């Protein structure tokens, strides 16, 4: 199909098909089911419902079944023993280590966000740590830090306004997805519970005045259960092996309205509206309703990556995550998105007349695709920085997050419609553009910026000259490929009809090269582990510039010399070589593509 006018007409037609009544019908049904934990009858009911709706819309859905390692709550008790006796309402963090029936006692020590920097400031050895709920870092990393610094237990106080008495639910499993023999030993070995914001604030005040002695008892069941994960696919017409993966977690805590029944309903509505236009989709769409997300820490999406590796590696254009859309009173859009997608996102936000803050992806929200190198986009509306800091205490997903207060009244219907419009434009643009609309000049510039940051962080101890040179060579090659891609698009629009088949083949060659760039560079520059492995859940290091270099440089600046410095220097050289090889491989594949386009398809610039 033509790449300009018809693309806009298709976008409009998909968006005009939107029905808020259909969305609310699904939200209401899922909320009525209630809390949906992996392996329960409620989760099975939700999965069957998703499958039946997708089938009614004209898709051919299935439910994948597989085992995941998860946890269930048994009991949680928490008391303050001194300076006064108080019984505090609590809920166990799942995957928490269970105490003995006698429980444990200890002095309570406040550790702020629970980051490693905060733990370093306090002596928590043999004490019970009290941390604030946040994504800086998420629960699992707080628990890992508490373990590392010798705390007896971890208590996490809810986020949101200080007077709220609701207790949020969550898990502290540090291992992303199902454990392996190697990662099994990394499962939590510390007891951990959740308390309300109001209780936490009261305890903070007490700690500030005198020693506080606490007692807690917690018990969880940890076991393997069978997940049930609905999947449906719309196959593309021109490049049938390529597709956009659209996912969101179906398992959910509390009343589930915004996290993530609204997201599940939006995915169903996208499927309903897109299936009507399937003949215009050059590339396909796969809809995945993840199980094993909330407690098994993205086990469902990880299972899917592991078991459909080849299909995803060869043909997945991007992963679009849909989670918690339509938060009441949210006004600020944030996108965690791979840098090659930023210009594409910018064009769409200008069309819709909104501003979207763009950040590199972190290890949250089913970003199981990082290692495989699939571009990631997760756009959602949250609250202003001022609101988060002054009134909401960092409750970026609502003070009702993961609780019985996550009810239908927390959803803004107009915002849901705006989220639909954004994601519809994402999908149509990614599925129907002749050439996948990614720009690796942005990637080159971002890598250059990060290299500059790392040299500053190293305080002159590390030089990255060879990487700067290789990034420049990569950028020059990208610009050369971009110029040819622009000629292909122009020829498709204005060229002769008899040349269309030849131009299509040339475009497919460019698209394969674009996917190859993402596969090579994402794994090297945004991850810290082997491509076939997964980082821990919510790993905060991934927010740092070129994470695999950052962790070494951080150690180097904290080391005065001697043997350790020599070891770190060797490690640094090897990681620099890894990055040089990634850039070299990307340049090679681009140059090979350029040569093929020039000689096979007689395209020159």
**So what's the pLDDT on residue 140?**
95
Give the mean pLDDT of 92-121: 96
Say if CB 224 and CB 213 are below 8 A apart: no
- How far is the C-alpha of 206 from the C-alpha of 293, rounded, in Å? 36
Give the mean pLDDT of 90-111: 97
Structure-model confidence comparison of residues 499 and 246, the more confident one: 246
- How far is the C-alpha of 52 from the C-alpha of 174, rounded, in Å? 34
Q: Hey, what domains does the chain have and what are their CATH numbers?
A: 24-69+228-432 (3.40.630.10), 73-224 (3.50.30.30), 440-599 (1.20.930)
- Alpha carbon of residue 488 to chain centroid: 34
pLDDT exceeds cutoff 70 at 2: no
Say if CB 17 and CB 273 are below 8 A apart: yes
Asked if the bond preceding 382 is cis, omega within 30° of 0, the reply is: no
pLDDT band at 603 (very low <50, low <70, confident <90, very high): low
**So what's the pLDDT on residue 496?**
81
Give the mean pLDDT of 517-542: 93
Terminal alpha carbon distance of the chain:
25
E strand intervals along 235-310: 243-249, 284-290
pLDDT band at 423 (very low <50, low <70, confident <90, very high): very high
Q: How many residues does the chain have?
A: 605
Beta bridge partners of 171: 94
Say if CB 94 and CB 194 are below 8 A apart: no
pLDDT exceeds cutoff 80 at 602: no
**So what's the pLDDT on residue 9?**
92
List pLDDT tens digits, range 193-216.
999 999 999 999 999 888 999 999
Whole-model pTM? 0.95
Compute, in degrees rounded to 10, the torsion defined by CA atoms 253, 258, 263, 269. 130
Cβ neighbours, 10 Å, residue 56: 11
Mean pLDDT across the chain: 95
Give the mean pLDDT of 68-95: 97
**So what's the pLDDT on residue 413?**
96
DSSP 216-254: EEEEEEEEEEEEEEEEEEE--SSSTT-EEEEEEE--B-T
- How far is the C-alpha of 376 from the C-alpha of 368, rounded, in Å? 10
Give the mean pLDDT of 348-377: 94
**So what's the pLDDT on residue 5?**
45
pLDDT exceeds cutoff 60 at 4: no
List pLDDT tens digits, range 137-176.
999 999 999 999 999 999 999 999 999 999 999 999 999 9
Helix runs in 394-499, H state only? 413-432, 440-457, 465-494
Over pLDDT 90: what percentage of the chain?
Answer: 91
**So what's the pLDDT on residue 118?**
95
Q: Which of 247-251, 254-258, 305-309, 390-394 has the lowest mean pLDDT?
A: 390-394
Cα angle vertex 97, ends 95, 98, to 5°? 115
């Amino acid at each position: 199909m033509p790449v300009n006018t018809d693309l806009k007409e298709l976008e409009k037609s998909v968006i005009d098909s939107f029905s808020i009544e259909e969305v609310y019908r699904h939200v209401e049904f899922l909320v009525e089911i209630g809390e949906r934990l992996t392996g329960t009858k409620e989760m099975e009911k939700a999965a069957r419902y998703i499958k039946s709706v997708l089938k009614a819309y004209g898709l051919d859905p299935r439910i994948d079944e597989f085992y995941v390692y998860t946890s269930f709550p048994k009991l949680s008790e928490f008391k303050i023993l001194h300076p006064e006796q108080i019984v505090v309402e609590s809920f166990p963090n799942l995957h928490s280590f269970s105490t003995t029936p006698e429980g444990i006692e200890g002095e309570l020590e406040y550790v702020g966000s629970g980051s490693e920097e905060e733990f370093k400031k306090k002596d928590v050895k043999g004490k019970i740590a009290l941390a604030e709920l946040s994504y800086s870092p998420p629960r699992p990393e707080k628990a890992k830090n508490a373990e590392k610094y010798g705390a007896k237990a971890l208590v996490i106080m809810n986020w949101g306004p200080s007077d709220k008495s609701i207790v949020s639910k969550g898990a502290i499993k540090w291992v992303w997805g199902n454990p392996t023999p190697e990662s099994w030993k990394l499962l939590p070995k510390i007891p951990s519970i959740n308390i309300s914001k109001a209780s936490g604030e009261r305890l903070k005040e007490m700690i500030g005045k005198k020693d506080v002695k606490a007692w807690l008892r917690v018990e969880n069941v940890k076991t393997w259960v069978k997940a049930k994960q609905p999947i449906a696919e719309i196959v593309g017409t021109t490049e049938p092996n390529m597709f956009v993966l659209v996912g969101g977690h179906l398992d959910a805590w509390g009343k589930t309205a915004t996290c993530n029944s609204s997201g599940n309903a939006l995915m169903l509505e996208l499927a309903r509206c897109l299936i009507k236009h399937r003949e215009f989709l050059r590339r396909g769409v796969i809809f995945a309703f993840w199980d094993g997300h909330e407690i098994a820490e993205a086990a469902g999406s990880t299972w899917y990556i592991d078991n459909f590796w080849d299909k995803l590696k060869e043909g997945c254009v991007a992963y679009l995550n849909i989670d918690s859309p339509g938060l009441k009173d949210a006004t600020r859009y944030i996108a965690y998105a791979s840098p090659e997608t930023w210009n594409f996102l910018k064009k769409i936000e200008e069309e819709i007349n909104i501003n979207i803050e763009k950040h590199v992806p972190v290890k949250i929200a089913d970003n199981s695709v990082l290692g495989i190198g699939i571009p990631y986009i997760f756009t959602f509306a949250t609250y202003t920085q001022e609101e988060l800091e002054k009134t909401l205490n960092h409750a970026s997903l609502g003070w009702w997050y993961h609780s019985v207060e996550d009810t239908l009244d927390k959803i803004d219907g107009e915002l849901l419609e705006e989220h639909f419009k954004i994601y519809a434009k994402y999908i149509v643009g990614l599925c129907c553009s002749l050439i996948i609309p990614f720009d690796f000049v942005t990637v080159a510039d971002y890598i250059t910026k990060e290299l500059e940051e790392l040299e500053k962080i190293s305080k002159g101890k590390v030089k990255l000259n060879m990487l700067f040179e290789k990034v420049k060579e990569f950028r020059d090659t990208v610009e050369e490929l971009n110029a040819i891609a622009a000629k292909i698009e122009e020829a498709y629009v204005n060229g002769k009809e008899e040349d269309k088949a030849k131009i299509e083949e040339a475009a497919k060659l460019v698209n394969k090269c674009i996917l190859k760039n993402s596969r090579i560079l994402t794994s090297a520059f945004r991850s810290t582990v082997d491509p076939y492995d997964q980082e821990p859940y919510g790993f905060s290091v991934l927010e740092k510039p070129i994470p695999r270099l950052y962790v070494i440089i951080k150690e180097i600046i904290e080391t005065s010399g001697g043997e350790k410095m020599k070891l770190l220097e060797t490690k640094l050289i090897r990681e620099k070589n890894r990055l040089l090889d990634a850039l070299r491989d990307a340049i090679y594949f681009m140059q090979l593509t350029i040569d093929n386009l020039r000689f096979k398809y007689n395209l020159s610039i």
